[in-house]
Structure 1
Amino acid sequence: MAGYDDRDGKIWMDGEMVDWRGANVHILTHALHYASSVFEGERCYNGKIFKSTEHSERLRKSGELLDMPLPWSVEEINAAKEAVLAANGLTDAYVRALAWRGAGEDMGVASKRNPIRLAVACWAWGNYYGDAKLKGAKLDIAKWKRPSPETIPHAAKAAGLYMICTMSKHAAEAKGCSDAMMFDYRGYVAEATGANIFFVKDGEVYTPIPDAILNGITRQTVIGMLRERGVTVNEVRIEPGDLEGYQQCFLTGTAAEITPVGQIGEYSFEVGALVQQVAADYETLVRA
């Protein structure tokens, strides 16, 4: 497959549809130097973006948290996503909306005089974790921890917050793992590098309190689905030693969808009935 900079297709940029290979920015773009950018990952199923409005709302909220108010409304962002899907002739796709501080009069840390820009791209993308959806992903335990909310805007889906995730995933892949599980600054279980995490014990579900991590849209959807089925969902602080007592584990996220986990470090989990049911229910929901 060609690199992401060398493909046929169209990308929406600042209100115009441009050729894929021509969707470029200047080397002195502020976001390239200072990570002043926010983004959304979304999936389109059968021609419909799942929870498109919620994602657009979060994109705008992320911008506000970075002192970068987006000059596009939720409706305008939604329309841009629909337009780029149509321009590329895709009905099942991954959609990436990205807002950033562009090149302008400022090139130091401050960037108030630089324009805020927006682009939307889409492409066909299969299972994020490959065949792990069937046999369960293998996770490393990251050495990096999710920071305190006093140090980062943890509720923003901001590019700069993924730096330690990239390093953690690289280290995991070097060990033959699909991903890494991260603890937070207090030592509690937090999340994977790009997905929220859930555990199952005796028919009940346990997941970290999202007070230092992004409260994912898929995470919220799955909690709602489980509770509608009568499954007890416990949002709790999970300590490292608690992993030994859990029987099943799965990840949730727009890219990950519902992916079972078979191993985290020395701990093993079964790809059990509850995880399989959640995955089936989610697939039905997004394609409804």
Structure 2
Amino acid sequence: MAGAYDDRDGFIWMDGALVPWRDANVHILSHALHYASSVFEGERCYGGKIFKSREHSARLLESGRLMDMPIPLSVDELEAAKAAVLEANKLHDAYVRAVAWRGAGEDMGVAASRNKVRVAVAAWEWGAYYGDAKMQGAKLDIAKWKRPSPETIPTAAKAAGLYMICTMSKHAAEAKGCSDALFMDWRGYVAEATGANVFFVKDGEVHTPLADAILNGITRQTVISLLRDMNVTVHERHIMPEELPGFQQCWLTGTAAEITPVGQIGEHHFQVGQLTRDIASAYEAHVRA
């Protein structure tokens, strides 16, 4: 499958039925388009099995709850929808996108409680998110924007509105020849990349930002568990940007990113070292087990 995302063959599941890909449309006055009332999940299917699929489905429902837009489906119903999409499109290795949003209805202001919450699931083939950086090490810019306080927005939700500064920061990074950008949070601590969590290595031990103002990624949690199974010490803590020169290795984690080594953040350089290669191999084996 290739080409623009609105002009492809295949099927997308929408509100209980499979519809032809090109017909999976929404009205221009959908509330989500105007007010970002949308949540989503990104998932990867390996060999016909979505990795941690039920955890993703549960997180989508929780994101909807946090955004005050209850999603009218159960985990089992979401699982059935994802299975139907993969079967209809004859996909075995794929990226799966489940999304829920407030559609068009009686309300067209900030409040939208009378507008139906709609749900869709799409899937497509998608290779390495960072391209060649998967092997060579990504180059990251440092974003000018800050991750907000949980007092300003539900940071535990995988919500579309939280990605606005991600898009702007990634565009700015790409203009500088970088693959991505690293955020600090509103306190000045190292936070995450535009769509991935970040890990650092110093003297054989791993350090990763505490998930108190960022999404606690499912891949992040998986990697921490794998590292501890490998008897590697993992510190989940606040990390100051002044610490970056003291780290020897760095990688990003996420469903799309999987495990991508980082070679540079701003002026700071990192090795694509043995621990980075080991955890990448362990993760690849784990998701395909």
Q: Tell me the TM-score normalised to structure 2 length.
A: 0.99
State whether structure 2 residue 197 is matched by structure 1 residue 192.
Answer: no
1:251 matched residue in structure 2: 252
2:30 matched residue in structure 1: 29
1:96 and 1:257 mapped to 2: Cα distance?
15
Q: Quote how far apart the aligned CAs of 1:171 are.
A: 0.1
Q: Tell me the SS of whatever aligns to 1:176.
A: coil
Q: How does 1:95-110 map to 2 (within 5 A)?
A: 95-110=96-111
1:172 matched residue in structure 2: 173
1:65 matched residue in structure 2: 66
Aligned AA for 1:196?
Answer: N
2:206 matched residue in structure 1: 205
Q: Quote how far apart the aligned CAs of 1:76 are.
A: 0.3
Deviations 1:113-165 (A, max 9, x none): 00000000000000000011111000000000000110010000000000000
2:153 matched residue in structure 1: 152
Q: Quote how far apart the aligned CAs of 1:237 are.
A: 0.8
Q: Quote how far apart the aligned CAs of 1:195 are.
A: 0.1
2:153 and 2:30 mapped to 1: Cα distance?
22
1:154 and 1:207 mapped to 2: Cα distance?
17
Q: Quote how far apart the aligned CAs of 1:263 are.
A: 0.1
1:190 and 1:89 mapped to 2: Cα distance?
38
Q: Tell me the SS of whatever aligns to 1:59.
A: helix
2:93 and 2:262 mapped to 1: Cα distance?
25
2:263 matched residue in structure 1: 262
Q: Which runs of 5+ in 2 are unaligned?
A: none
Q: Tell me the SS of whatever aligns to 1:198.
A: strand
Aligned AA for 2:82?
Answer: K
State whether structure 2 residue 283 is matched by structure 1 residue 275.
Answer: no
The share of aligned pairs that are identical, in percent, is: 75
Q: Tell me the SS of whatever aligns to 1:83.
A: helix
Count of residues paired in the alignment: 288
Q: Tell me the SS of whatever aligns to 2:219.
A: helix
1:233 and 1:246 mapped to 2: Cα distance?
14
Q: Quote how far apart the aligned CAs of 1:278 are.
A: 0.5
1:235 and 1:17 mapped to 2: Cα distance?
42
1:113 matched residue in structure 2: 114
2:7 matched residue in structure 1: 6
1:141 matched residue in structure 2: 142
2:26 and 2:259 mapped to 1: Cα distance?
34
Q: Tell me the SS of whatever aligns to 1:90.
A: coil
Q: Tell me the SS of whatever aligns to 1:3.
A: coil
1:59 and 1:193 mapped to 2: Cα distance?
19
2:134 and 2:282 mapped to 1: Cα distance?
14
Superposition RMSD on alpha carbons, in Å? Answer: 0.4
Q: Quote how far apart the aligned CAs of 1:214 are.
A: 0.2
Deviations 1:197-238 (A, max 9, x none): 000000000000010100000000000000011000001111
1:29 and 1:133 mapped to 2: Cα distance?
37
1:111 and 1:69 mapped to 2: Cα distance?
12
Q: Quote how far apart the aligned CAs of 1:2 are.
A: 1.3
Q: Quote how far apart the aligned CAs of 1:105 are.
A: 0.2
Q: Quote how far apart the aligned CAs of 1:275 are.
A: 0.4
2:185 and 2:160 mapped to 1: Cα distance?
18
Aligned AA for 1:17?
Answer: L
Deviations 1:87-113 (A, max 9, x none): 000000000000000000000000000
Deviations 1:172-205 (A, max 9, x none): 0000000000000000000000000000000000
